Structure 1
Amino acid sequence: MAPPARPRHTRIPKDKFAVYFGHLKSQPYNESPSGRGAGSHQRYVRRAAGNPEKPNVRFSTELKGHLAGIEKIAFNPVKDAELCSVSNDGVVKFWDVRTKTCINEVKGLGNAHSLAWAPDGSSVLVGNRRGELFQISPTKPVIVASRQLSVDTNQMAFCWSGEKVFLPTTEGKIRILSYPDLEPVLHVNHAVKEGESTEFMLQGHTASCLTTELSPTGRYLATGGADSIIALFDTKDWICQRTVSRMVGPVKSISAASSRAGSGLEVTHTESGEHVHTFKTAGPCEAVAWAPTRYCLAYSDLGVLRIVDVDRK
């Protein structure tokens, strides 16, 4: 289930993480957005980067963005410079963070709030609060396919082969469905009552399961819930191995662990559950994403989408 091998920066040890990231801060970019007045409700994408050996060398940029709050962001798994964002304005946008431009957008998705890239970068799966799922291409301005589910789902994740997708539900369970036909993959091995489903679902939360994320090695599936718990499932036997309970409030995004209540992003070492670092933020962070091949973290902070990038060259 691990992703295909790609060039990556040397892994930063957990005890050195704060050394690399501690001094990186975003600074305002003074370029004024054209054609927008002071009263505009337009959101922006901001990019910030720095060199750990030269903490004063930083830059940031802003991109014209959504007309409502950003719900989820994710890098293209095969193109580090391509970022996708979804908003409850019903629009998905694809960004080139190098040229500061929106390269594609798809409208008409309702109250959209979740998205996940297929591992090969060829499509994006988007969900809204009415239980609808949409398949979208990063190069087409229209919806490719749609599916209505019987249970509302939250932030999903693909397995690394792209053949399965993990869907957390408002019932606190995680469904494992095939892709792209979205049919149950696993079934229980015992008799069920008449009318009951035989679908096997992961159970690790006492409240709505809000998000899920597969580890880079494919060994663990992390899930976050409204019960303020992060659960780590072993993908070999689908047994919950451990839980992380440092969070305050519902856990809505776990590329780096983040909570809706309070401010700050908590980074936790997956194997040990040890706290590694806290990114200070102005407010709650609804969306968080690591770049697939380098130490580059994107997150939304009070309606602004920020990127902190360790340039190790």
Structure 2
Amino acid sequence: MSQPGRPRIGRISKELFSSYFKDIPSQPYHEPAPGRGSSSSHHRLRLIAWNPLSTWVATVTSEKTIRVWNPEKREHRYSTELRGHVAGIEKIAFNPAKEAELCSVSNDGAVKIWDVRTKACVSEIKGPSGAHSLAWAPDGSSLLVGNKRGELFQISPTKSAAVSSHQLGVDTNQMAFCWSGKKVFIPTVDGTIRILSYPELEPVLHTSYSAGDGGPAEFMLKGHTASCLTTELSPAGKYLATGGADSIIALFDTKDWICQRTISRMVGPVKCLSFTFDGTYLVGGSEEGSGIDVIHTETGELIHTFKTAGPCEAVAWSPTRYCLAYGDLGVLRIIDADKKPSQKP
């Protein structure tokens, strides 16, 4: 169930962001202690996903288990454990239209739809072997799953088999839908980002010159010198952020599809991206370096750095407020602006 409402912090200006957050401690959410004979070494916390109301946050370590936390209750006894995959989980995402519906894809070739409230796997779709990316359509009625062979599978949460499959001819990474659900942005291993219609998965834009076969060439975004690993659309749809193996974050204007700025502060490949609920700030995650840099979207300025003990491969802003979840040395940590005692920016 949803948590009771509470006062929310409005927009925090870039001038006040650092001073506002500097005194707010991060809160750890510890996994259960390992049993006798188990390894005590830290797992990597590889994936984080918020549900649409920010009432749950799901995590995946290097194990085959999903843990869903209540952000208001840090003790693990209040969390929910979801088990069922027999190989490593590659991606998780909540249905944007249903608070308790979570999807996971795994190397075991299964796409699982979970009901977090009952802990049940309510649907399982087998077939997309090597699946490593997924994106829900904004209305929650379908999703796309991509594998390492450049195949895209259209999935319905209510069907036991993929609705359709499409071969793109090039390996793809973590994609994102536009907010109308009519386009999907597909990052590729050659560093480009394709813009395809949905559900047809045909190129939306073309250049003014011809391709080798005499037809118009497909227009693709180009902002990376190595594989483009992830994409994220800002909440207002003004910018498309892309992250690459070249450690670059690129921000494209979605009106003219021009790369407005690149951010080169990341250390190591950019594995994930996340905007604040108002689109004002952006963070990226990498399995190298330390600290989480907060970037002002409109200017590309470094606004603040959250200190961490190690690399943060998984970072995610809440979709409803200034609340950042991230993994540090295998532990989920959350910094919540609403927790600052009786002070407003």
TM-score range, shorter chain: 0.7 to 0.9
Q: Is the 8 A contact 2:114 2:123 kept in 1?
A: yes
Query: 2: distance between equivalents of 1:250 and 1:183?
Result: 29
Residues 283 and 127 of structure 1, relative CA distance in 2, 3 Å threshold: same
Deviation, 1:49, is 4.5
Partner of 1:86: 105
Cα distance change on mapping 1:205 and 1:271 into 2, 3 Å = same
The question of whether the paired residues in 1 share the 8 Å contact of 2:69 and 2:80 is answered with no
Matched, 1:233 2:261: no
Q: Does 1:258 align with 2:258?
A: no
- Which of the residues 292, 304, 310 maps onto 1:276? 304
Quickly say closer, same or farther: Cα 1:62–1:297, change in 2 above 3 A.
farther
- Distance change >3 Å, CA 71–CA 11, structure 1 → 2: farther
CA shift, 1:170, in A, is 1.0
CA contact (8 A) 1:9 1:293 kept: no
1:264, 1:81 → 2: CA distance? Answer: 31
CA distance in 1, matches of 2:99, 2:124: 18
Q: Does the alignment pair 1:24 with 2:27?
A: yes
Query: How much has 1:311 moved relative to structure 2?
Result: 9.9
Q: Please give the TM-score of this superposition, normalised by the length of structure 1.
A: 0.79
The structural deviation recorded for 1:140 is 2.8
- More displaced 10-residue stretch of structure 1: 85-94 or 259-268: 259-268
**TM-score normalised by length of structure 2:** 0.72
Structure 1 range deviating more: 64-73 or 148-157:
64-73
| Contiguous gaps of at least 5 residues in structure 2 | 1-6, 40-61, 275-282, 340-345
Instruction: Provide the C-alpha distance between the structure 1 equivalents of 2:185 and 2:103, rounded to a whole number of angstroms.
Output: 19
Displacement of 1:212 in angstroms is 0.7
- What is the RMSD of the two structures over their aligned residues, measured on CA atoms? 3.4
Identify which range, 102-111 or 157-166, moves more after superposition: 102-111
Alpha-carbon spacing, 1:307–1:284, altered in 2? closer, same or farther (3 Å): closer
Whether the 8 Å contact between 2:249 and 2:270 is mirrored in structure 1 is: yes
Q: Residue 156 of structure 1 aligns with which residue? A: 175
Find the counterpart in structure 1 of residue 64 from structure 2.
43
Ranges in structure 1 where 5+ consecutive residues have no aligned partner: 1-7, 52-56
For residue 224 of structure 1, the aligned residue among 243, 251, 266 is: 243
Residue range with higher mean Cα deviation, 188-197 or 136-145: 188-197
Partner of 2:154: 135
Structure 1 range deviating more: 266-275 or 9-18: 9-18
CA distance in 2, matches of 1:225, 1:113: 16
Query: Is the alpha carbon distance of 1:115 and 1:267 closer, same or farther for their aligned partners in structure 2, counting shifts above 3 Å?
Result: farther
Distance 1:288 1:276, change over 3 A: same
User: What does residue range 1-313 of structure 1 map to in structure 2 within 5 Å?
Assistant: 10-11=9-10, 13=12, 14-15=17-18, 18=21, 22-29=25-32, 43-50=64-71, 58-60=74-76, 61-65=79-83, 66-194=85-213, 198-255=217-274, 256-262=283-289, 265-273=292-300, 274-278=302-306, 280=308, 285=313, 288-294=315-321, 308=334, 310=336
Q: Is the CA contact (8 Å cut-off) linking 2:9 and 2:337 kept in structure 1?
A: no
Distance 1:82 1:114 in 2: 17
* Same amino acid, percent of matched pairs: 60
Where relative contact order (Cα < 8 A, 6+ residues apart) is larger, the structure is: 1
Letter in 2 for 1:147: H
Report how far residue 186 of structure 1 moved.
0.4
Q: How has the CA–CA distance of structure 1 residues 191 and 131 changed in structure 2, closer, same or farther, with 3 Å as cutoff?
A: closer
**Count of paired positions:** 294
Q: Deviations over 1:186-218 (max 9, x none)?
A: 010234554576110111111111111100010
What is the distance in 2 between the residues matched to 1:139 and 1:165?
22
